[in-house]
A and B are shown apart, each in its own frame.
Chain A
Amino acid sequence: MAYNVLIVDDSATMRALVRKVLKISGLELGECYEGANGREALEILENHWVDLVLSDLHMPEMDGAELVKALRQNQMWQTIPVVLITTEGRQEVLAPFFEAGIQGYIRKPFRPEDIKEKLQNILGEAWVPDAGELEGCDF
């Protein structure tokens, strides 16, 4: 199964990096959509099937907290796994997001292996590795 992934981050540079890491992670990647904030993410979700959302926390217009809330309140989207990719590491800040139903978070800075491990845990046996070992892989 190929996964359609939505990357939400206000930094185009960071979106490009995450996309690159996903390609070498072993995840069978279908479409890879990008949004610069929560509002753009919702617009993409209105028009495309998405299997996984990787979202930053701090973004202008509509931040990650508002995006998670909107997803969990919508019947169509409430089961889509959401993983935060954020500089935030303080547990008291992240706790409400877990209560809201996110599947996990990846703290920046991250190694490609961190993303691979997190997605393996979340997607479980649906994971289809095909890219070999990441060791020594230059992203």
Chain B
Amino acid sequence: MLESLKAATFEVLETMFFVFPERLEESTELFHGPGLRAWVPVAGPKKFRVGLTVTLPLAQEMAANFLGLEKDEVPPDKLEDVLKETANMVAGSFLTQENVSEAFYLEPPQALRLDLDDQDWCDNSHHLLLAVEDDGLEVFIEKTK
């Protein structure tokens, strides 16, 4: 499952954002300062959510590449929009790769800003920590109620 999530993430980030994540041992050390998290609730026979967390500079780089703008030209309010769209594409690609039943469907994405220093970062069977140069990127799949 995590392999499908990783493949979906790489496909989306490389195709539409021109960023190339790597899996590094020191990835846990790359989450500092302000960040953004976006996720997509997946409804169906089981409920879960698929999402990602990035540092603010990485969010700015992704938005700039996505919109074809310079980093300092990206309106701040577009960062959440772009990251929500990213989560939407990763979740859709994940469902396709896992070929899950059509009974599962995506709900509207959500996003929030957070302080990355307040979080615990662990690489496990549901959380994948990646690096894009000096910035951290977390991808996750979590059960929900």
List A residues at the B interface (Cβ < 8 Å). Answer: 10-14, 16-17, 20, 58, 60, 86-90, 92-93, 107-111, 138-139
Known contacts A13-B78, A17-B66: A90-B16 contact under CB 8 Å: no
Q: Are A90 and B102 in contact (CB under 8 A)?
A: yes
- In the complex, besides A20-B68, A107-B92, A109-B11, 16 extra interface pairs with C-beta distance below 8 angstroms are A10-B108, A13-B78, A13-B82, A16-B67, A17-B66, A58-B106, A58-B108, A60-B108, A86-B92, A90-B96, A90-B99, A92-B102, A109-B16, A109-B93, A138-B68, A139-B68
Contacts of B61 in A (CB 8 A): none
Q: Which residues of A contact B92 (CB under 8 A)?
A: 86-89, 107-108
> 5 A-B residue contacts at CB 8 Å?
A11-B85, A89-B93, A89-B95, A109-B93, A111-B15
Smallest distance from the beta carbon of B104 to chain A beta carbons, Å?
9
How many chain B residues touch A (CB < 8 A): the figure is 25
B interface list, Cβ under 8 A from A = 11-12, 15-16, 66-68, 78, 81-82, 84-85, 88-89, 91-93, 95-96, 99-100, 102, 105-106, 108
Instruction: Report which of B11, B12, B96 forms a contact with A88, defined as CB distance below 8 A.
Output: B96
Q: Which residues of A contact B96 (CB under 8 A)?
A: 88-90, 107
Residue of B with least CB distance to A24: B68
Compute the total of residue contacts between A and B using a CB distance below 8 Å. 59
Closest B residue, CB atoms, query A138: B68
CB distance from A128 to the nearest CB of B (A): 24
Closest beta carbon of chain B to A111's beta carbon, Å: 6
Contact (Cβ within 8 A) A17 B108: no
8 cross-chain pairs, A with B, having the tightest CB-CB distances, nearest first: A87-B92, A89-B96, A109-B15, A13-B81, A109-B16, A109-B12, A108-B89, A93-B102
Report chain B residues within 8 Å CB of A109.
11-12, 15-16, 89, 93
CA–CA, A14 and B81, complex, Å: 9
In the complex, the answer to whether A13 meets B106 with C-beta atoms within 8 Å is no
Measured CB to CB, the nearest residue on chain B to A96 is B102
Which residues of A are found within 8 Å of B85, using beta-carbon distances? 11, 13-14
Chain A residues near B78 (CB-CB < 8 A): 13
Q: Which residues of B contact A139 (CB under 8 A)?
A: 68
Q: How far is the CA of A111 from the CA of B105 in the complex (A)?
A: 24
Q: How far is the CB of A25 from chain B (nearest CB, A)?
A: 14
Instruction: Select from chain A the residue with minimum beta-carbon distance to B14.
Output: A109
- Point out the residue from B11, B16, B82, B105 that lies within 8 Å of A58, measured CB to CB: B105
